[in-house]
Chain A
Amino acid sequence: MACWPSRSTINDQPSTHLIEFLQQLINGLSLGAIYALIALGYTMVYGVLRFINFAHGDVFMVGAFAGLYVAPAVLKLSNGGPSWPGAFLVLVIAMVVCAILGIVIEKLAYRPLRNRPRLTVLITAIGVSLFLENFGQYAFGVDPQSFPDLIGDHAITIPAWCGPLTDLTIMVSQVLVFAVTLFLLISLRFIVTKTKLGMAMRALSVNPVATSLMGINNDVVISFTFGLGSALAGAAGILISIQQPSIDPLMGLQPGIKAFVAAVLGGIGNIPGAALGGILIGVIETLVVGYSDRLHIPSGYRDAVAFFLLILILLFKPTGLLGRVEREKV
């Protein structure tokens, strides 16, 4: 993953330290928002089926590539230049593609295993993940490809009256990522709490036998859950490609793992927990990497940070931060 812009000039003025910290925090938040979107998919699928969908990170990758392939056609409508409606259209198309992919994966690979031991499903999920990665390498090529600039990304000029805050670098894409994530989270909240399908999802996660007795078609609800989670992953794929415009078929691996850690940190099966966990993981990772010199951690350990956190959580608080709130489970 590309490096985040960071302030490397360190002097002893307290305000520069604060500005540097704020900068890291902003970078961490926009990374965390993306992790949060992916983590929601893990947590929703875990909620209804009680298994870890290993292939979720790769659905995120497919989302990015769907964007890469439709972007030129969409941008043609605006004469090839960056356009906000175009970006929105690309986002929606990627979400739809990923939703279909998620539903197909569930139907072909996971549904026949519904009543088998969980490990069987886990192994299948690993197989699906490897297949998507390697088929992606075959279909999209191994080398990283550059993602077109959909929104004309640039740093926001901070008005002069903000004083030392003008030293901050806030990109338009960072604001966009945060805004889109917030919007999707609120929509998800609405779907889960206010619609019939959302209610069916919550009921299914409590007792699947009872829901089927109540006339709810469990298969439909599970398909819907997969579609919803995968659509969020697709959105995350586009958002990360806008921020870091270099995509490759293995790009889903690390964010996938980190988002999974985020889901566990927040309490797996818990939707607000996944969002909170994602933000936390993004911030922690950015801070650890940003301050690696002063913490005496070589920055090469970046990818081990998430695993280290995961192991600590599972050993000391396996239910996660918000895991106890059963009512919120989906």
Chain B
Amino acid sequence: MFERSKIILLVTVAAIFVASRFSSHIDPYYYDIILSIGINIILAVSLNLVNGYTGQFSLGHAGFMSVGAYAAAMFTTYASGPFLGILGPLGPFLSVTIFFGIALFLGGLAAGVTGLLVGIPSLRLKGDYLAIVTLGFGEIIRVIIENVDALGGSRGLSVASGYTNLFWVFATAALTIYVIVNLVNSTYGRGFLTVRDDEIAAEAMGINTTKYKVLAFTLAAFFAGIAGGLYAHDKQFINPEGFNFLKSVDIVTMVILGGMGNTTGVTIAAVLLTILPEWLRHLSERPWLPHWIAPLLANRTIPYSLLLIILMLTRPQGLFGAPGLKRKKA
């Protein structure tokens, strides 16, 4: 009745549900890191669809994340009264679940529409130009949010409701991986891969390359938006600076470390790169370290940037490589 992948998804989600019942026993510090891991998995796996499978280099993922974060946060702030009133008879648990689900979906939708609007013009460009233009759009989104008073401007926005929990984060992460793995193995997935491997040949075979690029871009933006919604209701405070160019680079680093076009690798890389800065911060507090080395470790961007350079010089295919990855010479 069910395909194997669907059964795996259902079992995973059920396991996450059971595990989330015990989340109150986890130390709040570790709990926070675990939630960040899940959110980063969603971001990295979705960006991998664009940067890895479709071979387009986007540097503006944090921009879409911020659209989703703000959209979902505005929805739960202003619509909680009427919605929770209508859903009230279903009991507190179900009504909150449905309400937050709608909020996340709307956040994803807002980001997806933004992705579509950004993708249609910019995906005519290739390579480093596309990277710069997506960077530009990401920064424009940030500057716009900074200048809109209703969104809190550069002061940031407080989110009253902390709906995000272990279940939401990891169920969404599992769903993201499920959708993207299945998509890549479908007819559409072949489309993405052909665009990456040889765009000219793909066009010659009658494949509408623009359609596949825009589709990948929009879908990635949608999931980034959901991740943003989860992030907003986890931290309960968002500000535009949190979604700047550096955040986009963080996500790109995860994709590159895991291996572009390798979902398993990217998932592992997202876990590693979320833990790494925390581990380095702990390491920097060791008393036996020379005093000049501690700030080098505590500032996570220095190790991150060195990691990027060394990775590109020694292992550009990432830690786990990419199955069948053949890049066209630019």
Check if A300 sits within 8 Å of B146, measured CB to CB.
yes
Task: A315 to B137: give the CA distance in the assembly, Å.
Answer: 13
B305 proximity list for chain A (CB < 8 A)? 127-131, 134
Is B121 engaged at the interface, CB distance under 8 Å to the other chain? yes
B143 proximity list for chain A (CB < 8 A)? 300-301, 303-304
Is B268 engaged at the interface, CB distance under 8 Å to the other chain? no
Q: Inter-chain contact count A-B, CB under 8 Å?
A: 107
Task: A218 to B133: give the CA distance in the assembly, Å.
Answer: 31
Is B1 engaged at the interface, CB distance under 8 Å to the other chain? no
Closest B-chain residue to A312, C-beta based? Answer: B121
Task: A121 to B313: give the CA distance in the assembly, Å.
Answer: 9
- Give the distance to chain B from A251, nearest Cβ to Cβ, in Å: 15
Given known pairs A117-B330, A134-B299, A134-B302, the reply for A311 and B121 (CB within 8 Å) is yes
Number of interface residues, chain A, beta carbon within 8 A: 38
Is B256 engaged at the interface, CB distance under 8 Å to the other chain? yes
Given known pairs A123-B252, A300-B147, A304-B144, the reply for A52 and B327 (CB within 8 Å) is no
Is B162 engaged at the interface, CB distance under 8 Å to the other chain? no
B146 proximity list for chain A (CB < 8 A)? 300
B122 proximity list for chain A (CB < 8 A)? 311, 314-315
Is B37 engaged at the interface, CB distance under 8 Å to the other chain? no
Check if A131 sits within 8 Å of B302, measured CB to CB.
yes
Contact with A along B129-170 (1 / 0, CB 8 A): 101110011011001101100000000000000000000000
Check if A119 sits within 8 Å of B128, measured CB to CB.
yes
- Give the distance to chain A from B141, nearest Cβ to Cβ, in Å: 9
- Give the distance to chain B from A80, nearest Cβ to Cβ, in Å: 31
Is A71 engaged at the interface, CB distance under 8 Å to the other chain? no
Is A112 engaged at the interface, CB distance under 8 Å to the other chain? yes
Within residues 45 to 64 of chain A, which ones have a CB less than 8 A from any CB in chain B? 51-52
Task: A251 to B306: give the CA distance in the assembly, Å.
Answer: 21
Q: Is chain A's interface secondary structure helix, strand, loop, or mixed overall?
A: helix
A161 proximity list for chain B (CB < 8 A)? none
Is A147 engaged at the interface, CB distance under 8 Å to the other chain? no
Task: A304 to B146: give the CA distance in the assembly, Å.
Answer: 11
Is A187 engaged at the interface, CB distance under 8 Å to the other chain? no
Closest B-chain residue to A123, C-beta based? Answer: B312
Check if A134 sits within 8 Å of B129, measured CB to CB.
no
Check if A298 sits within 8 Å of B302, measured CB to CB.
no
Check if B308 sits within 8 Å of A123, measured CB to CB.
yes
A318 proximity list for chain B (CB < 8 A)? 125, 129
Task: A138 to B284: give the CA distance in the assembly, Å.
Answer: 14
Is B249 engaged at the interface, CB distance under 8 Å to the other chain? yes
- Give the distance to chain B from A113, nearest Cβ to Cβ, in Å: 7
Is A310 engaged at the interface, CB distance under 8 Å to the other chain? yes
Is B90 engaged at the interface, CB distance under 8 Å to the other chain? no
Task: A173 to B217: give the CA distance in the assembly, Å.
Answer: 47
Is B304 engaged at the interface, CB distance under 8 Å to the other chain? yes
Is B309 engaged at the interface, CB distance under 8 Å to the other chain? yes
Task: A90 to B129: give the CA distance in the assembly, Å.
Answer: 36
- Give the distance to chain B from A308, nearest Cβ to Cβ, in Å: 7
Task: A233 to B306: give the CA distance in the assembly, Å.
Answer: 23
Given known pairs A130-B308, A314-B125, the reply for A117 and B140 (CB within 8 Å) is no
A128 proximity list for chain B (CB < 8 A)? 305, 309
Closest B-chain residue to A119, C-beta based? Answer: B57
Contact with B along A240-269 (1 / 0, CB 8 A): 000000000000000000001000000000
Task: A133 to B329: give the CA distance in the assembly, Å.
Answer: 31
Is B295 engaged at the interface, CB distance under 8 Å to the other chain? yes
Is B282 engaged at the interface, CB distance under 8 Å to the other chain? no
- Give the distance to chain B from A86, nearest Cβ to Cβ, in Å: 32
Is B5 engaged at the interface, CB distance under 8 Å to the other chain? no
A300 proximity list for chain B (CB < 8 A)? 143, 146-147
Task: A272 to B299: give the CA distance in the assembly, Å.
Answer: 40
B316 proximity list for chain A (CB < 8 A)? 116, 120
Check if A135 sits within 8 Å of B302, measured CB to CB.
yes
Given known pairs A120-B316, A123-B256, A315-B124, the reply for A130 and B301 (CB within 8 Å) is yes
Is B283 engaged at the interface, CB distance under 8 Å to the other chain? no
A166 proximity list for chain B (CB < 8 A)? none
Check if A117 sits within 8 Å of B128, measured CB to CB.
no
Is B296 engaged at the interface, CB distance under 8 Å to the other chain? yes
- Give the distance to chain A from B265, nearest Cβ to Cβ, in Å: 16
Is B127 engaged at the interface, CB distance under 8 Å to the other chain? yes
Residue of B132, B140, B308, B309 near A260 (CB, 8 A) is B132
Task: A193 to B302: give the CA distance in the assembly, Å.
Answer: 40
Residue of A119, A130, A135, A308 near B249 (CB, 8 A) is A130
Task: A128 to B313: give the CA distance in the assembly, Å.
Answer: 12
Is A126 engaged at the interface, CB distance under 8 Å to the other chain? yes
Is A118 engaged at the interface, CB distance under 8 Å to the other chain? yes
Check if B133 sits within 8 Å of A314, measured CB to CB.
yes
Given known pairs A137-B299, A301-B147, the reply for A122 and B139 (CB within 8 Å) is no
Is A18 engaged at the interface, CB distance under 8 Å to the other chain? no
Closest A-chain residue to B131, C-beta based? Answer: A122
Interface centre among A113, A124, A318 (most CB of B within 10 A): A124
Interface centre among A112, A130, A298 (most CB of B within 10 A): A130
- Give the distance to chain B from A91, nearest Cβ to Cβ, in Å: 29
Task: A161 to B66: give the CA distance in the assembly, Å.
Answer: 57
- Give the distance to chain A from B320, nearest Cβ to Cβ, in Å: 17
Is A70 engaged at the interface, CB distance under 8 Å to the other chain? no
Check if A298 sits within 8 Å of B309, measured CB to CB.
no
Other A-B contacts than A119-B131, A135-B302, A310-B133, 19 sampled, CB-CB below 8 A, are A51-B128, A52-B132, A113-B312, A119-B57, A119-B128, A124-B309, A127-B308, A128-B305, A128-B309, A129-B305, A130-B301, A130-B304, A130-B305, A131-B302, A134-B302, A134-B305, A298-B147, A315-B121, A315-B122
6 intermolecular pairs with C-beta atoms under 8 Å apart: A109-B313, A117-B329, A119-B330, A124-B309, A131-B309, A311-B133
Chain B residues at the A interface, C-beta cutoff of 8 Å:
57, 121-122, 124-125, 127-129, 131-133, 136-137, 139-140, 143-144, 146-147, 246, 249, 252, 256, 295-296, 299, 301-302, 304-309, 312-313, 316, 327-330
